[in-house]
Amino acid sequence: MDIGTGLSIVGSARLLERLLGPTADYIGEGIKGWTEKRVANVDRILRYATKLSDRIDQRGAVPPKVLGGVLKEGSFCDDELCAQYFGGVLASSKSEISRDDRGASYVALLGRLSTYQIRAHYCFYHLFKRESNGVGVEDLTLGTKKGRESLEIAIPLLDYFSFMGFDVEEEQLELLPHIMSGLLKELLIADRFETGAGVLLGERYVESYFNEDEAEEFMDAIIRPELAVQPTSAGIELFLWAHGKGNLSPLSFFDADHSFELDSTIVMPRGPHKVKSS
């Protein structure tokens, strides 16, 4: 196999063949005439894919449609976390079923999301996992209002700005509606998210804080504006595919047996907490 313009992919054409199967033959033609930067971006995605793949030596192939989408969308991806998402979807896509090109839909989805939206999705779902890890499947009813509310988290806005990694040149408050509306449009969060002082988020929040044992938490909610977010099945599915675990059911996301490595560049704050449902 002729890799073409010099994809290193850990220095091995053999490794590409193990990851992609026969689809690896498309690489050489796919990147002819590319700039060095685009080749480097794809090489980085493929490195993440080999790291995340637990099926690298299994029979099958990554569908050409999935690889084609990664070459098209991912080659312009300069952000490290976005590269991980593309790599995870690629790793999740290896299959012995030739028409199983579900990964192509996730690649297209990533192409529609901004770098900000992908980072927010990553952070939100790490927080959902942290706050509800080990919840029983019988309690996980994302298709119902009550089920989504049981998994809802409230994130102090200062913590949100922190894990988003905004710098002084980025207009933090103007980015919030862009991020949330984009995730909502793609059904990656539930159609109910709110911001504002804790006691202004709704009666459910007020009742949860009116407890003598939680007086300090109640006062903190008044002073510190929060962002309340609920997960969706679609949001969980994207997270699983982006971590090379597309074979898992969304219902298993909260199983204590499954863990997801946190990017070392992102510091998840202690401030977010689950909202107590009425």
Structure tokens of 196? 């504002």
pLDDT of amino acid 215: 53
Are residues 14 and 71 part of one domain?
A: yes
The winner for highest mean pLDDT among 9-23, 40-54, 85-99, 150-164 is: 85-99
When mean pLDDT is compared across 10-14, 170-174, 269-273, the lowest value belongs to 10-14
Six token digits for residue 169: 């040149």
pLDDT at res. 217: 58
Q: pLDDT tens-digit profile of 206-255?
A: 455 555 555 555 555 555 677 889 999 999 999 999 999 999 988 889 99
Shared domain for 56 and 194, answered yes or no, is no
- Report the percent of the chain where pLDDT is more than 90: 36
- Whether residue 236 contacts residue 125, with contact meaning beta carbons closer than 8 Å, is answered with yes
Rounded to an integer, the average pLDDT of 45-68 is 87
**Is 91 within a domain?**
yes
Q: Which helix (H) or strand (E) holds 43?
A: helix 36-52
DSSP one-letter string for 212-254: GGGHHHHHHHHHS-EEEE---HHHHHHHHHHTT-TTS-GGGTT
Residues 146 and 106 in one domain: no
- Taking only the tens place, the pLDDT of each residue in 243-257 is 999 999 888 899 999
Q: Is residue 6 over pLDDT 50?
A: no
pLDDT per residue as tens digits for the range 76-89? 999 999 999 999 99
* pLDDT tier at 25, thresholds 50, 70, 90: confident
Report if residue 231 sits inside a domain. yes
Q: What is the pTM (predicted TM-score) of this model?
A: 0.82
Domain that holds residue 70: 9-112
User: Cα(46)–Cα(9) distance, rounded to whole angstroms?
Assistant: 6
Is residue 103's pLDDT more than 50?
yes
Q: Which of 164, 139, 153, 162 is nearest to 190 (CA)?
A: 153
Confidence of residue 160 (pLDDT cuts 50, 70, 90): confident
Residues 178, 214 within the same domain: yes
- Better-predicted residue by pLDDT, 171 or 69: 69
**pLDDT at residue 188 greater than cutoff 50:** yes
Q: Looking at residue 11, what is its pLDDT?
A: 47
Cα–Cα distance for residue pair 121/107, rounded to 1 Å = 15
Number of CB atoms found within 10 A of residue 21's CB: 19
Instruction: Indicate if 60 and 88 belong to the same structural domain.
Output: yes
Q: From the CA atom positions of the chain, what is the Rg in Å?
A: 20
The sign of the CA dihedral 15, 252, 129, 173 is positive
Q: Dig out the tokens for 166 from the structure.
A: 């905004």
Instruction: Please answer whether residues 273 and 226 qualify as being in contact, where contact means their C-beta atoms are separated by less than 8 angstroms.
Output: no
Complete DSSP assignment for 61-80: B--HHHHHHIIIIITT---H
Give first-to-last CA distance, the chain, whole Å: 61
Mean pLDDT of 191-207: 50
Same domain? 129 vs 153: yes
* Range 64-78 average pLDDT: 92
Q: How confident is the model at residue 3 (pLDDT cuts 50, 70, 90)?
A: very low
Which of 68, 93, 112 represents a domain boundary (last residue)? Answer: 112
- Which of 243, 275, 257, 226 has its CA nearest to residue 128? 275
Under 8 Å between Cβ of 94 and 23: no
Q: In the predicted model, what is the mean pLDDT of residues 24-46?
A: 81
Q: Give residue 204's pLDDT.
A: 47
Instruction: Decide which of 201 and 12 is more confident.
Output: 12
Residues 60 and 179 in one domain: no
d(CA 10, CA 112): 29
In a domain, 1, yes or no: no
Q: Are residues 138 and 262 in the same domain?
A: yes
Is the Cα dihedral 30, 35, 37, 40 positive or negative?
positive
CB atoms within 10 A of CB 223: 9
| Distance (Å) of CA 274 to CA 11, 94, 202, 216 | 45, 36, 15, 16
